[in-house]
Amino acid sequence: MTDARRQLIDEVRARFGKRVAVTDPVEIEPWLSDWRGRYHGHSEAILAPSTTEEVAEIVRLAGALGVPLVPQGGNTGMVAGATPQEDGSALLLSLRRMNLIRSIDAEAGVAIAEAGVILANLHAAAEDADRRFPLTLGARGSCTIGGLVSTNAGGTQVLRFGTMRSLVLGVEAVLADGSVHDGLSGLKKDNRGYSLDQLLVGAEGTLGIITAAALRLVPAISGRAVAWLGLGSPADALAVLRELERGTSHVEGFEIVPDDSLSLVLKHIPGTRSPLDGEHDWHVLIELTDDGSLDEAPEALLAKLLAPLIDSGLIEDAAITSNEAQAEAFWRIRDSISEAERTDGPTLAHDISVPVGDMPRFMIEAAAEVERVFPGTLASGFGHLGDGNVHFHVRGGATAAADWYEAQAPAITRLVHDLVTAAGGSISAEHGIGQMKRDELARLAPGRVAALKAIKRALDPKGIMNPGKLIA
Amino acid sequence: MTDARRQLIDEVRARFGKRVAVTDPVEIEPWLSDWRGRYHGHSEAILAPSTTEEVAEIVRLAGALGVPLVPQGGNTGMVAGATPQEDGSALLLSLRRMNLIRSIDAEAGVAIAEAGVILANLHAAAEDADRRFPLTLGARGSCTIGGLVSTNAGGTQVLRFGTMRSLVLGVEAVLADGSVHDGLSGLKKDNRGYSLDQLLVGAEGTLGIITAAALRLVPAISGRAVAWLGLGSPADALAVLRELERGTSHVEGFEIVPDDSLSLVLKHIPGTRSPLDGEHDWHVLIELTDDGSLDEAPEALLAKLLAPLIDSGLIEDAAITSNEAQAEAFWRIRDSISEAERTDGPTLAHDISVPVGDMPRFMIEAAAEVERVFPGTLASGFGHLGDGNVHFHVRGGATAAADWYEAQAPAITRLVHDLVTAAGGSISAEHGIGQMKRDELARLAPGRVAALKAIKRALDPKGIMNPGKLIA
């Protein structure tokens, strides 16, 4: 251990107590690998402050000693943005002990939550106040507010409420010089120059440490209807979405599922059954919610909006339900796709986006191109069609060699990213860049990376904020 | 004229033609002063490119020659952000010839407009496509999209649709190094690091030149109802707003007017008459619109929502109309307040915000404090109560000396800004900082200014982008 890291750990213990600097390797171990288990790093300690002042003091000490910090929340990220480097040069800074919901103002629709608050706990607190924090995703029981803000997280309800960026009213953050940016006042209008709050959203901890966020709450849900549709193509699916949007602003979820993804779920996930009797090339899961402002039951509204589309043949078949058990069963199919694919064989995932209107064509053409260039592979996209964001998966197929993933993954990913870039899209729609996509971002968007690096150097001249992530 | 400026003008003419560098003093003159006529600068030429490529080339030349550029749209800004410095060291860069609406996608709800498009023209084009661009303000016939983006403009419909920041899906901009940032693809999800688009919104041209923006369109309006209320206090007004928000999401305008502002309008603006028969200490103007999704007439809905508040005495009296002439008459009162005050005597305006829930108390207490410290003055706030943003005006009163404005303004403004800052608010809610508030921002938020300066230096190391604005 270098003197600098030793000294930082000792200083933190002297000022804030022993438990604010965990050095037991057994306690540290679980936090050194990323969620998917593909990246492994090293850190001699986890610093675990419980107040903004402690974070600020640690950042000041780290700056003075030249010790980089890797901020970490629930460690559920998909791109290894919270995994320390292998050389152990940085220390982990866990925000998990900063887990207070400081306030909930139901009338104003604002919650102020510290970085370490687990998403599911915020959901529960909002519900207790007869409100709702609308963003949700699979890792809700582990992921934290700080990480959600720092990665501009998305999820399944983005269609109606946007990503974290649109739900963050302001942030409190410790900048690299140890100063505290306080954007929590929740001003609806503030034109005092560049928005530091917006700059910190999605910065993956490379510009500062988010310690708390003021978040928008919306009216609580009083009911929902969920539909499973069978139809012929992604273009038909998008046409259905446009028709729905003309009739209501209450559609929150619109997820596309290709038939082979459904088949894999039915094959590998116990207790699942097909929502429709017949065969369809493509499927769509729709969720429509009521927050008390609808004049009819959500199921009735959804049925009314879908009826003409069924009559016209745009939709081949549909099952609509407001039965919670059945709604959950539909969602379980959608949420099990990644697991089913992994069970079936090696799978390579890509979180990508293109303009919404271009996505149907992109899905078809990109899949065909990947399967053409890499014979034997099976490519398909599923997910948030209404956001122009699908998870584009490439599977090795039945004949894949044992080393398929290692041998083929880089070239396949490069092709997918080239296709996305040619379509004016993004190689990271909602997961961020982290370590995993850093070199690809530099390859495909050098001008953009140059601007990001300039900003990074300006705000973190010593390079102590999550080094090696997002930009080299 | 220095050789550098001469050379830049000659190069621009040689490459793009004579009319792209206007040097006739008579043509230049109108663009050298700010909208309010309080700031006057000098520029030897107006460079007026008509394409993004021309802007990029001019920026590259200016960078090479070290000539600063002052971007300018409709020149309707309130803080002299588009007025060149007095020393004539910079050249004006007018975006007014970049006035194409490149596309309107009614289905996707997206317009791509160049920087020089006048707001009223965008309104008309959106209407032709049966859509609506919801942001509007008094200068709509002159102000341009580039200026609206660069100042994160607000206006009277922010309550429902937010400021420009929330309507901008992406921008195209020429950065200080002459590279073009293209954020127009309108990706709904893009997590490739810091949002350069959001960084450029509200940057007042100090980081780059906005050349075009992708803007969100919403459904067209099919009808509206407007109400004028008489009530007892700003707190009562806010209580009315909260009740309305519980019942509908269709309230777009909620403007508070103190009785003395109404009296000045009735006194000085010909053809105005009081909307209510009786006397009330405070008034509120409400606009509720229908975009085809309401099940009843907007007037009926507004009347239904206000009825219990009238019964309970929260509202003293109300006039509700869907008659367009009467609606316009109500709005004319609101829109004439500044003019009426100026006609009555010297007036000092402050565009400020505090958290919405704190605004009623702030309005009362700040007015009392200003009148106490500066005897004889009359202070009051009016405007966007629902945004936590009022225009806090201080008038000299009947006994004001001829030099009242010059003698008192700096001290009064300093007090108002101190009160706002103590209340956790912003000294610029919607107008920006420009030249007018630059020194006050530095006085009141040195930490914030240090961060802004670091970002500015990083992206514009030669200081050629609108120098002297926002930050020194």
pLDDT tens track, chain B, 472 positions:
679 999 999 999 999 999 999 999 999 999 999 998 999 999 999 999 999 999 999 999 999 999 999 999 999 999 999 999 999 999 999 999 999 999 999 988 999 999 999 999 999 999 999 999 999 998 999 999 999 999 999 988 899 999 999 999 999 999 999 999 999 988 899 999 999 999 999 999 999 999 999 999 999 999 999 999 999 999 999 999 999 998 898 999 999 999 999 999 999 999 999 999 999 999 999 999 999 888 899 999 999 999 999 999 999 999 999 999 999 999 999 999 999 998 998 999 999 999 999 999 999 999 999 999 999 999 999 999 999 999 999 999 877 888 888 889 999 999 999 999 999 999 999 999 999 999 999 999 999 999 999 999 999 999 999 999 999 8
Cβ–Cβ contact A411 with B under 8 A = no
Contacts of A448 in chain B (CB under 8 A): 181, 192-193, 196
Residues A154, A388: Cα–Cα separation, whole Å: 12
Which chain B residues in 376-405 lie under 8 Å from chain A, judged by CB atoms? 384, 387-389
Q: What is the pLDDT of residue B292?
A: 85
Name the residue of chain A whose CA is nearest to B469's CA: A193
Whether residue B293 and residue A249 make contact (CB cut-off 8 A), yes or no, is yes
Q: What pLDDT was estimated at residue B402? A: 83
Residue whose pair of structure tokens reads 């007869």 in the numeric block: A130
Which of B293, B356, B426 lies nearest to residue A190, judging by beta carbons? B426
pLDDT average, residue stretch A85-102: 97
Chain B touched by A50 (CB under 8 Å): no
The pTM of the full predicted model, rounded to 2 decimals, is 0.94
Which residues 182-221 of B have a C-beta within 8 angstroms of A?
Answer: 185-196, 198-199, 201-204, 207
Nearest-by-CA chain A residue for B460: A454
**Cross-chain CB nearest to A175 (options B158, B389, B451):** B451
Question: What's phi and psi for A267, nearest 5 deg?
Answer: -75, -40
Contact list in A for residue B458 (CB cut-off 8 A) is 454-455, 457-458
Q: Is B12 in the A-facing interface, judged by CB distances under 8 Å?
A: no
CA distance A352 to chain B (A): 8
Q: How far apart are the first and last CA of chain A?
A: 24
Query: Any long-range contacts for A28-35 (C-beta under 8 Å, 24+ apart)?
Result: A28/A92, A31/A72, A31/A75, A31/A92, A31/A94, A32/A83, A32/A84, A33/A83, A34/A75, A34/A77, A34/A78, A34/A79, A34/A80, A34/A82, A34/A83, A35/A75, A35/A76, A35/A77, A35/A78, A35/A139
**Residue-level length of chain A:** 472
What is the least distance, in Å, from the CA of B156 to any CA of chain A? 12
Residues of chain A with C-beta less than 8 angstroms from the C-beta of B290: none
Using CB atoms and an 8 Å cut-off, which of residues 317-336 of chain A contact chain B?
A: none
A 78-137 residues inside an 8 A Cβ radius of B = 105, 107-108
**pLDDT at residue A1 in the model:** 62
List pLDDT tens digits, range A311-320. Answer: 999 999 999 9
Separation of alpha carbons B154 and B165, rounded Å: 9
* A181/B451 CB distance under 8 A: yes
Contact A54, A101 (CB under 8 A): no
User: Is the CB of B193 less than 8 angstroms away from the CB of A354?
Assistant: no
E strand or H helix at B369: helix B359-373
How confident is the model at residue A90, as a pLDDT?
97
CB atoms B426 and A166 under 8 Å? no
- The verdict on A156 touching B (C-beta cutoff 8 Å) is no
Look at A356 and B188 and tell me if their CB atoms are within 8 Å. yes
Looking at chain A, the whole-number percentage of residues with pLDDT higher than 90 is 91
A469 neighbourhood in chain B, CB within 8 Å: none
Would an 8 Å CB–CB cutoff place A157 in contact with chain B?
no
The stretches of B42-133 forming alpha helices (DSSP H) are 52-65, 119-128
Contacts of B175 in chain A (CB under 8 A): 451
What is residue B1's predicted lDDT score, i.e. its pLDDT? 62
What distance in Å separates the CA atoms of residue B21 and residue B29, rounded to the nearest whole number? 14
Question: How many Cβ contacts (< 8 angstroms) between chains A and B?
Answer: 201
Residues 6+ apart with CB under 8 A from B108: A355, A356, A357, B186
Q: B123: closest CA among B150, B157, B152, B151?
A: B157
Its sign, for the CA torsion A113, A115, A117, A118, is positive
Cβ contact A184:A114 at 8 Å: no
Contact B452 A158 (CB under 8 A): no
**What distance in Å separates residue B68's CA from the closest CA in chain A?**
19
Distance from CA of B312 to the nearest CA of A (A): 20
Residues of chain A in contact with residue B185, where contact means CB-CB under 8 angstroms, are 354-355, 424-425
User: B406: distance to nearest CA of chain A, Å?
Assistant: 25
Q: Tell me the HSE value of B116 on the side-chain side, using a 13 A CA sphere.
A: 16
Closest CB to B192: pick one of A191, A194, A448: A448
Full DSSP string of B124-135:
HHHHHTTEE---
Question: Per-residue DSSP letters for B435-459?
Answer: TTTHHHHHHH-HHHHHHHHHHHHHH
Query: Among partner residues B158, B192, B248, which is closest to A433 by beta-carbon distance?
Result: B192
* Tokens linked to A164: 């974290």
User: Could you read off the pLDDT of A122-171 as tens digits, one per residue?
Assistant: 999 999 999 999 999 989 999 999 999 999 999 888 999 999 999 999 99
Distance CA A339, CA A343 (A): 6
- Residue A120: its pLDDT value, please? 98
- Chain-chain contact of B195 with A185 (C-beta, under 8 angstroms): no
Instruction: Inform me whether the C-beta atom of residue A432 falls under 8 Å from chain B C-beta atoms.
Output: yes
Q: How far is B69 from chain A (nearest CA, A)?
A: 18
Query: Does the CB of B355 have a partner CB in chain A at under 8 Å?
Result: yes
User: Is B152 in Cβ contact with A451 (below 8 Å)?
Assistant: no
Best probe of the B interface among A105, A175, A191, A460, by most B CBs < 10 A, is A191
Q: What is the pLDDT of residue B73?
A: 98
> So what's the pLDDT on residue B385?
94
When CB atoms are compared, the residue of A191, A445, A449 closest to B431 is A191
Residue contact A427–B189, C-beta within 8 A: no
Do the chains contact at A158 and B188, CB–CB below 8 Å? yes
Cα(A420)–Cα(A429) distance, rounded to whole angstroms? 11
Q: Is B443 on the interface with A (CB under 8 A)?
A: no
A-chain residues near B445 (CB < 8 A): 192
Q: Spell out which residues of chain B touch residue A108, defining contact as CB-CB under 8 Å.
A: 355-357
Query: Residue A250 in contact with residue A160, Cβ under 8 Å?
Result: yes
Closest partner residue to A353 (CB to CB) among B187, B428, B433 is B187
Contact B455 A452 (CB under 8 A): no
Average pLDDT on A453-462 reads 97
Contacts of A358 in chain B (CB under 8 A): none
A459/B188 Cβ within 8 A? no
User: Which of the residues A151, A192, A210, A430 would you substitute to probe the B interface, choosing the one with the greatest number of B C-beta atoms within 10 Å?
Assistant: A192
Nearest neighbour of B353 by CB, restricted to A151, A175, A190: A190
